[in-house]
Amino acid sequence: MICLVLSKEVSLILLSRALRTFPFGFLAVLLPIYLAPLGAYYLGLFFSFSFVSSVFLLLILSVRGNRIQMRIVLIVQSIAVSVTVAILASTKQPLLIIIASLICLNGWGIGGGSGSGSGPYGTAFNVSLIERSDVKSRTEIISLGSMIGSLSFSAGAYFLNVIQVPDQQTHEVSSSLSRSTIQLLFVISIVMFLAAIVPLLFTRNRLALKDKEISQIEPSKWGEIVTILRRSYAFLIAEFLNGLGNSLYVQLLPLWMFLRFGISVGTVGQIFAVAGAITAFMILFSPKLETRIGSIRAISFARVCVALALVGIAFAPIFAIVLVLYFSTLILSRISSRIQQSLVFRMTPEKDWSRTFGSIGMVYLIGATIGPVIGAFLLLDVNSALPFLFAFPLILISGLVYWIGYRAMRSVSSH
């Protein structure tokens, strides 16, 4: 049934996501391990600063989202990542690496959080995809887009197993990248640049309003949006806590597996490839779960389960238990994220999609900006279990409070 609603433009959008996500599968596993020799301070700053630039771009989308073509955002983001990867392949200087992270305009990580999925790219991708889809099939289309992204990410992660990566069979972090890996980074930079070309084939965003059209929006509508945001403080707090909790461990999980259990880089890539592939198909069940138990219950239940699983991961005596718990958390996180995106689309007027997703993503990423520095310090300098234990109460509270925020939004909307 999903195939029936795939237009040419929807297919191009999905192709753009696939091209862009493949390199992230490779980089998300490799970067935390090979940036670790920089120390906890620079490792944390690298991930944190990538979120800082994302927050800045989301702020622009939140304020002027109706005036911006989403395809321009997709193009700029892919080019920015291309430049960042090229810099990483060219230098080992910590300062230049941090600057590269700022240029990136995209948070790095394995996508394990159950947040809104509304980073700058996620916002532009979702709006571009949904506005070209049938109203009745939006949840399915979002799920399909996420599935394609997960499969492409898995392919990139698995690619680590077929290239030459130094020190794969040791428990020590290498202080340098192999020549072949550096060459591959340049290839990835080119692929990311090619991914920026596909959005040029999209038609203009039909939701991008002109100044004259924006001035005609009734002031009462703007007042209603402000009122909703003010009264939905619980929801915003939940998103902030979720972003902070996830960022304590998500970006560092490959490094944690490498250091805690001595899992080789190539094997870590295989694990994330399998996890991504399983998650990709499980995401297709999100519409059924949403229909059966309701959107709010599904999202809240998933976050509470993720929080509890993190405690199990922190104290797991064998790696097999870690795998089961990690796969469970990733599936629940991705499903709840897709349901949340669909819910926000249904509750928001079309003209406010980019602004709403930008605002939600900005709150999430503000929390995510803080976490990597703390998580890297706890992992490398204190105890490897602490990032998960610190994340536990944050994500748990986020799940418990989440439905309160949306209840406030629905209460205001009904009046």
Q: How confident is the model at residue 322 (pLDDT cuts 50, 70, 90)?
A: very high
- Residue at 40 is within a domain: yes
The pLDDT of residue 80 = 85
What is the average pLDDT score of the chain? 75
Backbone angles phi, psi at 192, to 5 degrees: -65, -35
What's the number of CA atoms in the CB half-sphere (13 Å) around residue 208?
Answer: 13
- For the stretch 28-37, pLDDT in tens is 887 887 778 8
Q: Which has the higher per-residue pLDDT, 335 or 329?
A: 329
The pLDDT of residue 42 = 85
- For the stretch 9-33, pLDDT in tens is 788 888 888 888 888 887 888 788 7
Q: Which has the higher per-residue pLDDT, 268 or 405?
A: 268
Q: How confident is the model at residue 402 (pLDDT cuts 50, 70, 90)?
A: confident
Q: Which has the higher per-residue pLDDT, 28 or 394?
A: 394
Residue 111 pLDDT greater than 60, yes or no: no
Tell me which residue of 341, 351, 344 sits closest to 67, measured CA to CA.
351
Domain count, the chain: 1
- Residue at 213 is within a domain: no
Pair 19, 195: CB distance under 8 Å: yes
Residue 66 pLDDT greater than 60, yes or no: no
In this prediction, residues 332-350 reach a mean pLDDT of 73
Q: How confident is the model at residue 49 (pLDDT cuts 50, 70, 90)?
A: confident
Percent of the chain with pLDDT over 90: 12
- How far is 142 from 135, CA to CA, in rounded Å? 12
- Residue at 209 is within a domain: no
Q: Which has the higher per-residue pLDDT, 218 or 351?
A: 351
Cβ neighbors of 77 (< 8 A, separation 6 or more) are 57, 105, 106, 120, 121, 124
CATH, residue 69: 1.20.1250.20
The pLDDT of residue 394 = 94
In this prediction, residues 311-337 reach a mean pLDDT of 90
Pair 138, 340: CB distance under 8 Å: no
Q: What is the DSSP string of 180-219?
A: HHHHHHHHHHHHHHHHTTGGGGSPPPTT---HHHHHTS-H
In this prediction, residues 138-146 reach a mean pLDDT of 73
- Residue at 272 is within a domain: yes
Residue 177 pLDDT greater than 60, yes or no: no
The pLDDT of residue 315 = 93
- Residue at 207 is within a domain: no
- Residue at 162 is within a domain: yes
CA angle 109, 111, 115 (to 5 degrees): 120
On whether the pTM is more than 0.85, the answer is no
- Residue at 355 is within a domain: yes
- Residue at 212 is within a domain: no
The domain containing residue 51 runs over which residues?
7-202+218-414
- How far is 138 from 144, CA to CA, in rounded Å? 10
Backbone angles phi, psi at 294, to 5 degrees: 95, 150
